[in-house]
Amino acid sequence: MSINIPPHLLQEIHTQGENAYPEEGAGLLLGYEKDGIRFVQSLLMLENAREDTARHNRYLITAADMLGGEKEAEQLGQSIIGIFHSHPDHPNLPSEFDREWAIPWYSYLITSVDVGQAAESKSWRLLDDRSGFFSEEIITREENSLKT
């Protein structure tokens, strides 16, 4: 399984993580899935709704954010296919907290931001039994270059 994120959208995610530093930044990945590949077509940047004292290592996307994301995706003819967030000064591996709150169908793109600079992103999906995550290949090409 893989996720295709055009380079300019991945750069926007990195910039958002840098701008949120030293707190976690978050948002929604909008697009579609075809033949086992998820295609990110747009992003919905969100404010971290977690209380101030926990934003350095937690993010919160509210129900209202998700509803807004569903409406935005519908207007664009897309779906919410995942969530992205940053890990300030921490590896881009899902935490136990991430696992507890994750939904198996979504992709979870995590970007490590080291001393204010985006370092690397990895994408994960939660196993159906919720026991852990498996990694998902990130493809960074424009969608048109993948069509045959």
Enumerate domains of the chain plus CATH numbers. 2-146 (3.40.140.10)
DSSP string, 60-115: ---HHHHHHHHHHHHHHT-EEEEEEEEEETS-SSPPHHHHHH--TTSEEEEEEEET
Alpha-carbon distance 11 to 62, whole Å? 24
Alpha-carbon distance 12 to 128, whole Å? 30
Q: What is the largest CA-CA distance in the chain?
A: 49
pTM for this model (two decimals): 0.93
Supply the pLDDT for residue 127: 95
Cβ–Cβ under 8 Å, residues 20 and 56: no
The predicted-structure confidence for 67-124, as pLDDT tens digits, reads as follows: 999 999 999 999 999 999 999 999 999 999 899 989 989 999 999 999 999 999 999 9
Q: How confident is the model at residue 148 (pLDDT cuts 50, 70, 90)?
A: very low
CA distances from 75 to 37, 39, 46, 72, 79 (A): 22, 17, 18, 5, 10
Cβ–Cβ under 8 Å, residues 24 and 85: yes
- Nearest partner of 38 among 84, 72, 75, judged by Cα: 84
Supply the pLDDT for residue 118: 98
